[in-house]
Amino acid sequence: MSKSAPQETVLQGTPVSPGIGIGPVHVVARGFSAPEVYHISESEIPVEQERFRVALEETKAQLDELQQTIKSLSGEEDSRIFEAHLMVLEDRAMLDRVAEAIKSRRQNAEFAFYAVMQHFLEAMRRVPDPYLRERTVDLEDVCQRVLRNFSEEAPRHSAPEEKHILVAYDLTPSDTAALDRRHVLGFATELGSVNSHSGILARSLGLPAIVGIEDAVLDIRTLTPAILDGYSGRLILNPTEDTLKRYQELQERKEKVRQDLEAQRDAATATTDGRTITLSSNIEFLDELALVRNSGAKGVGLYRTEFLLLDGEDMPDEHEQAEAYKKLATELAPHPVIIRTLDAGGDKLPVEPLTEPEPNPFLGWRGIRVSLDRPGMFKEQLRAILRASAHGKLAVMFPLVSGLGEVRRAKDYLKECMDELAKDGVPFDEKLETGVMIEVPSAAVIADLIAPEVDFFSIGTNDLIQYTVAVDRVNHHVADLYRPTHPAVVRLIKRTVDAAANAGIWTGVCGEMAGDIRLTPLLLGLGVEELSVGPHQVPRVRRAIRALSHSECSVMAEQALMTGISQEIMDATMGMAKQYYPELMD
């Protein structure tokens, strides 16, 4: 009797980045890297069982030697720290689970061991007893040792399919940034929210993504065939032929829309009644420059420098930074590039280890506060930007400004850097434009005072929303309260735009609202002049702008400013979006 096919299973999460991924799942555990995984034949099962036995014996010998060394150096008591490690390797339940996993999964021994231990680790992390949770470190150490001791003399197999859907407990911003986009079709996590930085990066990188799938790491098996639906938030395991065909057809329809949008790449980004909107890109990495050019974006409206400065062991020096900024300037000329100075802290990369965790990082040491507290580091970045400004059209932007004093202090440092470079005879753009991000309500309220000090505003809607409505944007418990159309948010955007216009400077939006085509009618109606979005979002936003009438959007926005209910504002802007570009809204 033949073995029945696995049943299709649908897991529901929250969509954070649109798109479809079809391929095998790869599950990664917290704490240590997954080994290579491949299928084995029935005849190879005994070989893999023996490889597991040899790896265990080698690990036991190493731990015994370590125990004896510690005993001779520090005494019997300290040497007992390895007893728990040795007990793990002799645990009959674990040994039987791995043996059975090799047989039932038909996967190589090291991955079967990894999968079993991953399950144990995740279960331990979720128990309420703090003592047991702390023991996960010991278990991780044992796992790492065993994995390193597997024999390399395994039967040769063809390489596993490289493209895969990543499943993880959570992904940090640096984890997401490090994903190999050639091989990762998309990702699904247990934690996260629509507005977490990993979700923002997924949209920027064009990766389909889902968050909030309960017990995904515990319940999903690596190499399971799957479909990741970044539109509905579904992860479909073992899809049937009918399901697979339906999603392949959906992919084809989406690809047809993409090609139609691509054909408009060089079209003017202007409304039907002639209002031109500058459409630029947000980027994190220099290797995204080709994406920016291919998208037809008019330069970069936000270059996030955190990954250049902090995603390594040492921060690059002034010369290295200048070379990176020069590359941006020269390759995107004649279009402008706005470089945001270091924006560390919160849910972003930390600038340096703190002696103790901040009780509330979002209200703590982040943004321009870090730079003003570290003037040597800040001036090094400013000098690097100035050096590169001689080679193209650059601008500098200060993040998380909360008051006029911060703006003036930052400008004073910039002036010092200009004077130093001028004294040394180093060329730079003496008319380098300076802007600030409006993402703290206090800055929006006094936008009329800040505007005469700068050349432009860029509204960071992600933080502006969370600070205005007092909702942590990465906390799934209150995610439904994070509302971009909250009347207070809408009014603060309008206040900022009007203050800029009165001072003769322009206002853009570089937060997630800029790339959300449901909100394009609202932003245009409020008077925003520039939108900066992920390179993959540029074609869709361009199509939305070209379909809209600015005068009609303005009427809708005026009505929104008189409305006290978030959903009514969302309904109004979505109504226009569905009316004028329905093909993008399904």
Among all residues, which ones are annotated catalytic?
197, 510
∠ CA 339-340-345, nearest 5°, is 150
3-state SS class at 297: coil
CB atoms within 10 A of CB 84: 13
- Spatial strand order of the sheet with 20-27 comes to 9-12, 234-237, 225-229, 20-27, 164-168, 184-189, 209-211, 14-17
- Give 459's strand partners: 438, 509
Question: Under 8 Å CB-to-CB from 549, ≥6 apart: which residues?
Answer: 271, 272, 273
Q: Examine residue 334 and say whether the peptide bond preceding it is cis (omega within 30 degrees of 0).
A: yes
* Burial status of residue 361 (CB atoms within 10 A of its CB: 0-12, 13-18, 19 or more): middle
The Cα–Cα gap between 545 and 279 comes to 10
Give the angle subtended at the CA of 253 by the CAs of 575 and 577, to the nearest 5°: 10
Residues 6+ apart with CB under 8 A from 324: 286, 308, 316, 388
How many angstroms separate the CA atoms of 432 and 426, rounded?
A: 14
**In this structure, are residues 105 and 112 in contact, taking their beta carbons and an 8 Å threshold?**
yes
| Phi, then psi, of 548 in degrees rounded to 5 | -100, 155
- Alpha-helical (H) ranges within 75-135 are 76-79, 83-89, 92-105, 109-125, 130-134
Give the DSSP H/E element, type plus range, for residue 465.
helix 461-469
Between CA 102 and CA 272 the distance in angstroms is: 63
Burial bucket for residue 128 (CB in 10 Å: 0-12, 13-18, 19+):
exposed
SS3 assignment, position 143: helix
Q: What is the DSSP string of 364-428?
A: SS-THHHHHH-HHHHHHHHHHHHHHGGGS-EEEEE-S--SHHHHHHHHHHHHHHHHHHHHTT---
Separation between Cα atoms, residue 511 and residue 464, nearest integer Å: 9
CA distance 145 to 77: 23
Burial bucket for residue 73 (CB in 10 Å: 0-12, 13-18, 19+):
exposed
Half-sphere exposure of 459 (CA within 13 A, CB side): 36
Radius of gyration of the chain (CA): 27
Nearest by Cα to 98 from 86, 110, 113, 87: 113
